[in-house]
Amino acid sequence: MNDINFTTLPNGTRIISEFIPHFKSFSLGFWFNLGARDENLSNNGISHFIEHMLFKGTKKRSAKRISEEIESCGGYLNAFTSKEQTCYYTRGLSENIARSFGVLADMIQNPLFKKSHIKREAGVVIDELRDVYDNPEELIFDKFEEVIFKGSKLSLPIIGTEGNIKKFNSDELHKYHRNKYNTDKLLIVASGSVEHNELVKLAEQHIEQRSKNAVIRRDKFVSHSAKDLTLEKNIHQVHSIIGRSTVGFNSKKRNKIKVLSTLLGEGSSSRLFQAVREKSGMTYQINSFINSYQDVSSFGVYFSTNIKLAGKVLDVVYKEFKKLRELEVSEKELNKVKAYIKGGTLLSLESTTNRMIRLANSVLYFNKVIPVEKYLNDIESVTQKEILDISNELLNEKKLVKVVLKSKDNSISRAA
């Protein structure tokens, strides 16, 4: 069993580490419970933009030096922003953890936000935004969550808007950084060949205490009726999502929905993959998904195909929904799905980065470490009756929302 330790420093910073004795490397993440959900229309995109800007240099290090300090010893440095979290992380060999820690600590505490850097990076982020608009597979998921989460800040895109990106300035970025990047909001997570006491000493050495700000509570998601949406772009394929909002990480139903989603459309042996691709050859891409937040998830089925087959694919999808609402899944099929989830979970844990992310999510969402065994036992305990019940709750055609991205010259109709 791996050694997991947890420490909270006097300045409020939390440190959690997992020591894996047979590893020679580590993954280290600096996490803030901060993302697009904490923004508003006027500053939407600022969390993601600051993530970019923290790589542009500090008083001690230029952008080039930040990269070189990590990469010159064989390490890797990156970051990501989601709707609820921002993470800066690095991977490397165990003997270089002090160097990596120092770089991350400097980045998150001492950004320059120079005017020239902001202007240059705004161009980069706008280019990233336009890449999303040019990629229908990414764009349709943004639009789907915009529709089902309407009225909530979860409807805001992570990357923001071009107008906001162009107007961000040094004063605004510094103010947001001071208010949000405080030591009591920092979670440091490491997995691999790491010594917990060393991490604590590094944090005491490198993390300076900042004055605490009042805790701002996130608005709870309130469900509402959502309407179908059709978007037109100059594309060859039709891209569709059929789905809805459902429970989040804070619900025990979430694992039952995970099993349903896997059975329905995750993996090449899933029902939709077999029915739509293997038996009918109507699409290259079809999969189900559950994208979860604290109190709500987006759940649905995504597929792309040509305009002539889109209606037929929809018919097959709805027929599979109907089967799941009316007939209990066999014990044999359910056991195969559980084995698929178990295998994917355990294989993912061979990566220190995946382990680090799992630890962070566990603490941020549940305020404790959920053992892998507990999660797998919860999956194993899902019954045939529960899958039938959750299918009737989620797969009612009248309560599903359809978002379609298609060419301007084509329309979709279901088969007679």
**For residues 66 and 219, is the Cβ–Cβ distance under 8 A?**
no
Long-range contacts of 42-46 (CB under 8 A, 24+ apart): 42/164, 43/164, 43/172, 43/176, 44/156, 44/157, 44/160, 44/161, 44/164, 45/125, 45/157, 45/158, 45/159, 45/160, 45/161, 45/164, 45/165, 45/168, 46/160, 46/164, 46/168, 46/172, 46/173, 46/176
The CATH number of 3-206, from 3.30.930.10, 3.30.70.260, 1.10.1040.10, 3.30.830.10, is: 3.30.830.10
Say what percent of the chain tops pLDDT 70. 97
Same fold, 3-206 and 229-406: yes
DSSP state letters, 118-160: HHHHHHHHHHHHHHHHH-HHHHHHHHHHHHHTTTSGGGS-SS-
**For residues 29 and 360, is the Cβ–Cβ distance under 8 A?**
yes
Where in the chain are the domains?
3-206, 229-406
Residue 214, pLDDT score = 64
Quote the CATH superfamily of domain 229-406. Answer: Metalloenzyme, LuxS/M16 peptidase-like (3.30.830.10)
**For residues 403 and 143, is the Cβ–Cβ distance under 8 A?**
yes
pLDDT tens digit sequence for 250-277: 999 999 999 999 999 999 999 999 999 9
Q: pTM of the prediction?
A: 0.94
Q: Residue 290: pLDDT above 50?
A: yes
pLDDT tens digit sequence for 307-349: 999 999 999 999 999 999 999 999 999 999 999 999 999 999 9
pLDDT tens digit sequence for 101-113: 999 999 999 999 9
